[in-house]
Structure 1
Amino acid sequence: MDTMTTFSSASPLPLALSNSSLPISATSLPASMSSSFSATSPFSISNSSSPNQNCSFDDKALRMPLAVLYSIFFIFGLIGNLFALWVFLFLPSSRNSVRVFLINCAVADLVLLACLPFRVFYHVNGNKWVLGSVACKMVGNLFYMNMYISITLLGFISLDRYLKLQGKGRTRRGMELTLFGQSWPWSWVACGALWGLSLVGLVPMIFMAEDKDFTDKCFQYKQRKSKAKGKAYFNGVLVMFFWLIFIMIVVSYAKIACQLLKVSRDKPDLPNAQRYGRTAKKSFFVLFLFTICFGPYHAFRPVYIASQLSSASCDYLQLVDRTNEVMLLFSAFNSCLDPVMYFLLSGSVRKIALQTLGHRFGNRFPFLNDATSNSSLPITPSATPRTSICIINSTLRRTGLNTLQPTQQTVITNNAPEK
Structure 2
Amino acid sequence: MNNSSCLQPSSATTVALPILYSCLFPVGMLGNFLSAWIFLCKVPTRRTQYIYLANLVAANLLVCSTMPFLAAYFAKGHRWPYESVACRIAHHLGTLVMQVSMYVTIVILCSTALSQYATLKKNCGPPHSPALPATLHGRLLHEFRQPKFAKYFCAVIWLIVLCITVTAITYNVQERVSGEFPTCYNIKVEAGERPAMIAAYLATVCFFLAFMTVLWSYYSLTRHLSRIQKTTCIGEKHLVYRTVKRNILVIQMILTVCFLPYHIFRPIFYLLLTDNDCLRLNYLVEIKNVLTCLAATKSSLDPLITLLLDKTFKKSFYGLFTKPTPEHQKPNDDIFTEMGRNMERLS
Same topology, TM > 0.5: yes
SS of 1:271's equivalent?
A: helix
Distance 1:260 1:340 in 2: 28
Q: CA deviation at 1:212?
A: 6.4
TM-score (norm 1): 0.65
Give the AA of the match of 2:41: F
- Give the aligned partner of residue 414 of structure 1: 343
Decide which moves more: 195-204 or 295-304: 195-204
- Give the aligned partner of residue 202 of structure 2: 237
SS of 2:275's equivalent?
A: coil
- Give the aligned partner of residue 188 of structure 2: 222
Residues 141 and 202 of structure 1 are in contact (CA less than 8 Å); yes or no, is this contact kept in structure 2? yes
Share of identical aligned residues, percent? Answer: 22
Does the alignment pair 1:57 with 2:8? yes
Give the AA of the match of 1:87: I
- Give the aligned partner of residue 155 of structure 2: 192
SS of 2:66's equivalent?
A: helix
Decide which moves more: 294-303 or 121-130: 121-130
CA displacement, residues 125-173 of structure 1 (integer Å, 9 cap, x when unaligned): 4744453453233212111110111111111112222333344489799
Change (3 A) 1:292 1:109: same
- Give the aligned partner of residue 127 of structure 2: none
Distance 1:258 1:358 in 2: 41
Distance 2:226 2:339 in 1: 13
* Higher radius of gyration, 1 or 2: 1
Residues 211 and 228 of structure 1 are in contact (CA less than 8 Å); yes or no, is this contact kept in structure 2? no
- Give the aligned partner of residue 142 of structure 1: 97
Aligned structure 1 segments of 4 or more residues deviating by more than 4 angstroms: 167-174, 209-212, 260-269, 354-359, 369-372, 374-377
SS of 1:185's equivalent?
A: helix
Residues 307 and 314 of structure 2 are in contact (CA less than 8 Å); yes or no, is this contact kept in structure 1? yes
Distance 1:376 1:338 in 2: 23
Q: Mind listing any 5+ residue stretches in structure 1 that lack a counterpart? A: 1-48, 178-182, 360-368, 378-387, 389-412
- Give the aligned partner of residue 120 of structure 1: 71
CA displacement, residues 25-50 of structure 1 (integer Å, 9 cap, x when unaligned): xxxxxxxxxxxxxxxxxxxxxxxx94
Residues 101 and 157 of structure 1 are in contact (CA less than 8 Å); yes or no, is this contact kept in structure 2? yes
- Give the aligned partner of residue 259 of structure 1: 224
1:336-351 equivalence runs, <5 A: 336-343=300-307, 346-351=310-315
Q: CA deviation at 1:116?
A: 0.3
Distance 1:355 1:312 in 2: 60
- Alignment equivalent of 1:293, drawn from 250, 258, 271: 258
Change (3 A) 1:292 1:211: farther
Distance 1:297 1:164 in 2: 31
Change (3 A) 1:260 1:358: farther
Q: CA deviation at 1:106?
A: 0.4
- Alignment equivalent of 1:322, drawn from 283, 286, 292: 286
- Give the aligned partner of residue 166 of structure 2: 203
Decide which moves more: 111-120 or 89-98: 89-98
Q: State the structure with bigger RCO (CA 8 A, min sep 6), 1 or 2.
A: 2
Distance 1:319 1:176 in 2: 42
- Give the aligned partner of residue 273 of structure 1: 238
1:90-129 equivalence runs, <5 A: 90-93=41-44, 95-125=46-76, 127-129=78-80
- Give the aligned partner of residue 394 of structure 1: none
Give the AA of the match of 1:287: Q
Change (3 A) 1:117 1:234: same
SS of 2:260's equivalent?
A: helix
Aligned length, in residue pairs: 316
- Alignment equivalent of 2:316, drawn from 346, 349, 352: 352
TM-score (norm 2): 0.78
Residues 100 and 187 of structure 1 are in contact (CA less than 8 Å); yes or no, is this contact kept in structure 2? yes
SS of 2:112's equivalent?
A: helix
Give the AA of the match of 1:188: K
Relative to its length, the structure with more helix (as a share) is 2
SS of 1:54's equivalent?
A: coil
Give the AA of the match of 2:241: Y
SS of 2:105's equivalent?
A: helix
Residues 253 and 284 of structure 1 are in contact (CA less than 8 Å); yes or no, is this contact kept in structure 2? yes
- Give the aligned partner of residue 114 of structure 2: 159
1:293-312 equivalence runs, <5 A: 293-308=258-273, 310-312=274-276
